[in-house]
A and B are shown apart, each in its own frame.
Chain A
Amino acid sequence: MSAATTPGTASAGAGATGPAPESFFRKALRQKRFAFGFSLTLAIVVFAVVAPFLSPFGEKETAGPPYSPDGIFGTDYLGQDVLSRLMHGGQSILVISVLATLLGMVVGVLVGVIAAYAGGWWDEVIMRLNDVVLAFPQILLALVVLTALQDPGAWVIVVLIGISHAPRVARVSRGVALGIVSRDFVVAAEALGERRSRVIVAEVLPNMTGPLLAEAGLRLTYSIGVVASLGFLGFAADPGAANWGQMIFENRLGLQTQPWAVVAPVLVIGIFTVATNLMADGLAQASQKGD
């Protein structure tokens, strides 16, 4: 599943302190892939945030006849300016993807670390339940729940994508945590009588930052993919609003006459996912190299 690597062997940092975040970031920046992916991601994020203020037309403003070649990218099926829609359409994808990734990471890491730390019977039960959610392709889980809902809000999509990430994150973080929970400094902390929750937060988690950051990058890539895919299938949270996935759905029938209305959002989504994926791989490599 993992496009990048299996961070199971990774054990960032040698001591109980773990690597400081700044030094890890520097190390990652020395990776060409990370530097490239990170700058490209940053550029698209800035575009998504700033562009709505600069767009020549409003989000739902009619700029001319439908599918006309006026403007840089022409107009769409309702005569709205494609460039302006493109400039407005990044924010919702960005916010939903980031929130879904965060939710999936938090739940997944908790489940994975608890499974690794508790071990034995608990581990077995948690990982079996994990397998149940894993049997659904990510998009399928979202579609199944959307069947019975009338007008799903954006938060429903955040929760659905987050939940579908969780078992995949749990698998990875369990693997990473297994290599840490048996190490001396964790055993020592336990022997000193530290509470279990404190051992997890203070000793185990700080030593997982490298692989977890890499996993988060990968999850962000998939979040963008699934959010855009739902839009493409016509299940966006707000049907009239500009949204890169939704734009493709709306203008697909005009692909022959006005290709830019479809190809422009397709290209942005493609570039965005390439950028986040390169970033994730750079993080994975940086975390594997150790100090």
Chain B
Amino acid sequence: MEVAPPKGRSGGAAWGLWLARRLGLAVLTLWLVSVVVFLATAALGDPVRAILGRDYDSNVARRQQLEAQLGVGDSIVSRYVDWLGGLVRGDFGTSLANQLPVGTQISSTVANTLVLVLLSALVMIPLAFGIAMVSAHYRRKRPDTVIQTILLALAGVPEFVTGILLVAVFSTSVFNVLPAVTLVAPGASPWDEPKGMVLPVATLVVAVTPYVSRIVRATLLEVLDSDYVELARLKGIPEPVVMRKHALLNAIVPGIQVIALQLAWLAGGVVLVETLFSYPGVGKQLVDAVRNHDVPVVQALSMIIAGVYIVVNLVADLLSILLTPRARTAISS
């Protein structure tokens, strides 16, 4: 996605044009995503056969009922149009597994996952910026190298690896201080038991911090080596102030971009983390639905996850332009 400042004659019109184009692209992408999701779930394989397995030939009644529910027999185009029409009206269809409307089933899990992701972001952002500042302060000296090597090593490790190691250390094998699974009573919320949130959040934080921290450090170093920071130092401004006022502020915009990418990526990470901790969110629900071949639920959840990615990117682009003076003034001049 481009962050190019909108060029134009009058400020307002240029902004409107940029925003309209950007929104149009987002809608177009979302529509294509819906085509991919539908084709992948409805056209590539045969969900009815996958659900019934060996009973496909013997259990005719159940087969016909499932086929009727999925609309097997109608043309793929009309099934897609029906499904998309439902989505636009907010109707996600009916689950194949328990015959309940998908919309009511996913509303609470979406909320649970949002809380998990937001909590992780709240911990991750200051942590990542803090590590980056420490690392940039000792640039190219021993502590910097050590921090960067550790971050690099952590960056490629799958979430479930860190998650299981955290569980082994903090709840089963070494210490016995935190619960290994998030137990939620019916009708209650996962955050009613804060201790159960600690390990899932910690796992997500460990998964995401390295990327953000490395990008922010790279930006900080670029700024700290620049002429105007040199001038600020020569004027006698103390180094901590240089770091805070000159370097950090300039690292925020690239930071926003990478945080947005990572937040969207967290949507994939929660699949593993929620399954590991039995956290009642979108990711665990998705894995269960894939296991049961529950097509309508998978379609709804993947549209939501992809949609969140698109919206987060849109917001990040908008924020980047608003926070970059060069891009802002390019419009009014």
Contact = CB atoms under 8 A, between A and B. Distances in A.
A187 interface: no
Contacts of A1: 211, 261, 265
Given A3-B156, A139-B272, A232-B160, A128 B53 contact: no
B198 interface: no
A273 B172 contact: no
Interface string A109-137: 00000000000000000001101111111
B41 A33 contact: no
Grouping DSSP codes into helix (H, G, I), strand (E, B) and loop, the A interface class, with mixed when no group exceeds half, is helix
Contact of A131 (B1, B37, B269, B287): B1
Contacts of B97: none
Interface stretch (B43-51, B122-130, B132-140): B43-51
Given A148-B41, A148-B295, A132 B36 contact: yes
Contacts of A49: none
Identify which of B164, B267, B294 gathers the most chain A CB atoms within 10 Å of its CB.
B164
Interface in A266-284: 266, 269-270, 273-274, 276-278, 280-281
Interface in B239-298: 261, 264-265, 267-269, 271-272, 275, 286-287, 289-291, 293-295, 298
B146 interface: no
Nearest to B172: A256
A179 B156 CA distance: 28
Contacts of A141: 40
A146 to B, nearest CB: 6
Contacts of B291: 234
B153 to A, nearest CB: 4
Contacts of A234: 291
Contact of A144 (B149, B173, B302): B302
A255 B167 contact: yes
B33 to A, nearest CB: 5
B260 to A, nearest CB: 11
Grouping DSSP codes into helix (H, G, I), strand (E, B) and loop, the B interface class, with mixed when no group exceeds half, is helix
Contact of A148 (B33, B45, B159, B268): B45
Contacts of B152: 3-4, 33, 277-278, 281
Contact of A145 (B25, B40, B161, B264): B40
A143 B214 CA distance: 30
A229 B153 contact: no
Given A132-B29, A148-B45, A277 B50 contact: no
B29 A3 contact: no
A221 interface: yes
Interface string B27-62: 011101100110011101111011001000000000
A150 B155 contact: no
Given A144-B298, A147-B293, A3 B155 contact: yes
B157 interface: yes
A69 interface: no
B42 A148 contact: yes
28 contacts: A3-B211, A128-B29, A131-B1, A132-B29, A133-B36, A137-B264, A137-B269, A138-B268, A140-B268, A140-B271, A143-B287, A143-B290, A144-B41, A144-B298, A147-B290, A149-B44, A150-B45, A150-B46, A229-B160, A235-B290, A255-B168, A255-B172, A259-B172, A269-B158, A270-B158, A270-B165, A273-B156, A273-B157
List the 6 closest A-B pairs by CB distance, nearest first: A137-B268, A277-B156, A148-B45, A225-B158, A221-B156, A3-B155
